[in-house]
Amino acid sequence: MQQEYDAVLGNMSAQHHYNQFGISIVEGLLFGKHCVAAISGVGKVASAFTSQYLIALYQPIFVVFTGVAGALNPVYQIGDIVIARDSVQHDMDGRGLGFPRGEVPYSGLRFFTSDITLLAIAEKTVCAHCVHIGRVLTGDQFITNKEQTTYRYMLDELQGDAVDMEGASVAYICKKYETPFILVRTISDKANNDAPENFEAFLPEVVGNSLAVIQQILFNSHN
């Protein structure tokens, strides 16, 4: 998001930033490591496009995706960090073709796992809030209503801990390129009727969490 991007810019030296296809992109040294950062855009298509473009161009050693998520897991509180053990497209529905919901038909792809080395590093982030490891469900909907029938499906069948709108699509692209990937989200709302207000109010605090995890990964990864 713009706020996270601005925080990265503020911590990057030797930076060169530019705009391509309407995407803000910056290259430079972040916490001593060569990095490229960008604003992905909202939703599965925009985020897949951005990540595909950047991976093809820069061939990164790994990809870190940060942002906010709505909590499904009742233990998760606003401000907590969730690091995705895996992610899945909750709105992919190929049941008419005989595939379970969430699975990309004819691909065998359903749950996209985060890189275990990056996960082990990221989960040690020191943060004022809790750091959870969980399952993130991705779809092109901002979830606001616990009465939705899809809500039960998200909890019971997919066993989701949080919802977002980009994680599994970026994970899909990284899987195709065999690029290690980690998805890190700050809980901004509880995916209920208060979600739109919580989401807006909470954005500035997200920046601190995202930067803390990015710093933790860049300090401790060997590349």
Strand-pairing partners, residue 109, are 104
Please indicate whether residue 80 is annotated as part of the active site: no
Binding mask 75-104 for ligand ADE (x = CB under 6 A): ------------------------------
Contact 182, 62 (CB under 8 A): yes
Q: Minimum distance between the CB of residue 165 and ligand ADE, rounded to whole angstroms?
A: 5
Of 193, 211, 196, 189, the residue nearest 70 (C-alpha):
189
Q: Minimum distance between the CB of residue 104 and ligand ADE, rounded to whole angstroms?
A: 20
Give CA–CA dist 101/80, Å, rounded: 28
Tell me if 183 contacts ligand ADE by CB under 6 A. Answer: no
Place of tokens 């890189």: 115
Amino acid at 207: V
C-alpha to C-alpha distances, 135 to 99, 101, 138, 149, 160, nearest whole angstrom? 20, 15, 10, 19, 5
State which of positions 192-221 bind ligand ADE (CB under 6 A): 195, 199
Binding ligand ADE by CB under 6 A: which of 68, 84, 173, 217?
68
What is the chain's percent helix, strand, coil content, to nearest 5?
Answer: 35, 30, 35
Tell me if 188 contacts ligand ADE by CB under 6 A. Answer: yes
Binding ligand ADE by CB under 6 A: which of 46, 143, 184, 207?
143
Instruction: Indicate the residue among 100 and 196 with the shorter CB distance to ligand ADE.
Output: 196
Residues with catalytic roles: 4, 189
Which residues make up the interface to ligand ADE (CB under 6 A)?
68-70, 142-143, 163-165, 188-189, 191, 195, 199
